Chain A
Amino acid sequence: MNRLKDLKGNNRVVITVIGPDRVGIIAAVTTILAEQGVNILDISQTIMQEFFVMVLVADMAGAKVDLIDLKDMLAQKGEELKLRIDTQHEDIFNFMHRI
């Protein structure tokens, strides 16, 4: 099973990228994150039913933007690349899957 790192803190976001595979997806996403001071903690990727799926866990403690602005930036980049990019606070996943 593909496990993402167990990390502590309350500023973490989960970024999911889903869509057809192409050159430069990771570069496009990580460039935005670097520019905005968002520290990537973990990246996993896989191919599911011919779709490229990438999950990034990132820390926003030193970020220049808030979560909602980052979400918009990434979603816009996703549209350019014809991918779906979602940015969500990590708590939603912890709350649903961990007691």
Chain B
Amino acid sequence: MLTIEEILETIKMVQEENLDIRTITMGISLRDCSDANHRIACRKIYDKVTRLAGPLVRAGEEISREYGLPIVNKRISVTPIALVAEASSADDYCCYAETLDRAAEAVGVNFIGGFSALVHKGFTGGDRKLIESIPRALSETERVCASVNVATSRVGINMDAILLTGAVIKKTAELTAGRDSIGCAKLVVFANVPEDNPFMAGAFHGIGEPDCVINTGVSGPGVVRSAISRVGDADLGELSETIKKMAFKITRMGELVGRAAAKKLGVPFGIVDVSLAPTPAIGDSVAEILQEMGLERCGAPGSTAALALLNDAVKKGGAMASSYVGGLSGAFIPVSEDAGMIAAVDDGALNIEKLEAMTAVCSVGLDMIAIPGDTSVETIAAIIADEAAIGVFNHKTTAVRIIPAAGKQVGDRVEFGGLLGRAPVMAVNRFSAAAFVNRGGRIPAPIHSLRN
């Protein structure tokens, strides 16, 4: 029995508070596309992606109109290309990236994720070729997203991989210098990467997944902020309760849309990723939620505690709303994609060290942060290693998506446009960790990995 108030609440959430489905992501296995001849492999990849994802955009638009709920992005994730390309004799894998880009353009999606390698314990030849192909692949394509998993709680932290990806990030920044180093916005370095994440740039189709699957990612920071504002000066228990209820409602939308899309496309439904994903639009900000909770600015003392409460309440509400919650699930705190975060950096309230602390209690990690272009490879590697350590030792996913903006200094800005937003270049600690990261090898897994 629906009440008129409930109907109007839903409509208000969509029309005034930016509730939307952030993404419907189709995961496609490319394991059957390997071939010794890379040209044949690429043709198989193109054919399979366009065959399965051909109706994706149209299905998304139809669902969006039927339910009156915006679906912002339609995207594709594929098997980590290192696994698919390895059988071929190609020396570099840019041809695979180019194929993915063409397939994505043909079906009308804005991003395709999975130019990826999993190297937490070590490299195969294919892994190394893929990682070395990343800078050129990202500078020569529009839609391809790359990721590298360099650590897990089971096996520890692969410092050799971190050092290599540090150099890859730097080179990607230089190759895309003319566009504010935008290539780095499409490259994520993970610890404990989830295999069913629908959000870019870190999405890929894991090896335990079916041939084709639909995953959805929900959004809705504006809805949570409004709900908090309505409860006034409620205590923290009541605040958590309010966020939980909102997260429940938001997640139900993701579940509904995911199931409708899966049915329309005739593929299994995978998971809902219960994440608060901000956009640069005013009012669609995670930082503003923290400020609504009582912080003068995001980054002020108390930010970590407030974010912990928010993240946990989102997960609790989301877990009740869907049986298949997966992906990253939590609150994202990207800087360039969140107007409140950008303002906090501009006001001097938020720095990289505080962001790092905050990533210990929320999903993902140091995300969309611009740093000076002259930051050394070793320092970038050390930042990645710190973030990986937080993930590995706390059994959670963490990631780094950092942009050493070529030719820019602290106080300059980078401008990516669209959902990727804009960011002030942030200061990095000027002391060196070169001798530490250059030791190489692998940081052993923490003792709590020995569970068997």
Contact = CB atoms under 8 A, between A and B. Distances in A.
Contact of B10 (A53, A57, A68, A92): A92
B11 A3 contact: no
B66 A89 contact: yes
A93 B1 contact: no
B343 to A, nearest CB: 30
Interface stretch (B248-256, B354-362, B378-386): B248-256
B68 A2 contact: no
- Category for how many chain B residues contact A: 20 to 34
Contacts of B3: 1-4
- Category for how many chain A residues contact B: 20 to 34
Contact of B6 (A5, A18, A53, A93): A93
Interface string A41-72: 00010101000010101000000000110010
A88 interface: yes
Given A16-B11, A53-B8, A92-B253, A68 B66 contact: yes
Interface string B55-68: 00000001001111
B254 to A, nearest CB: 10
B10 A93 contact: yes
B66 A93 contact: no
Majority-rule SS of B interface residues: helix
Interface in B249-284: 249, 252-253, 255-256
Contacts of A44: 4
B5 A1 contact: yes
Majority-rule SS of A interface residues: mixed
A46 B4 CA distance: 9
Contact of A86 (B2, B5, B62, B68): B68
Contacts of A93: 2, 6-7, 10
B151 to A, nearest CB: 38
Contacts of A68: 62, 65-66
Contacts of B4: 2, 4, 44, 46, 53, 55
A95 B7 contact: no
B69 interface: yes
5 contacts: A2-B4, A6-B1, A48-B8, A86-B11, A86-B68
In the A-B complex, list the 8 residue pairs whose CB atoms are closest, starting with the nearest: A88-B68, A6-B1, A95-B256, A92-B67, A97-B6, A95-B252, A2-B4, A96-B249
Given A4-B4, A4-B7, A91-B67, 13 more contacts: A4-B3, A16-B8, A53-B4, A57-B2, A68-B65, A88-B66, A88-B69, A92-B10, A92-B67, A92-B68, A95-B253, A96-B10, A96-B252
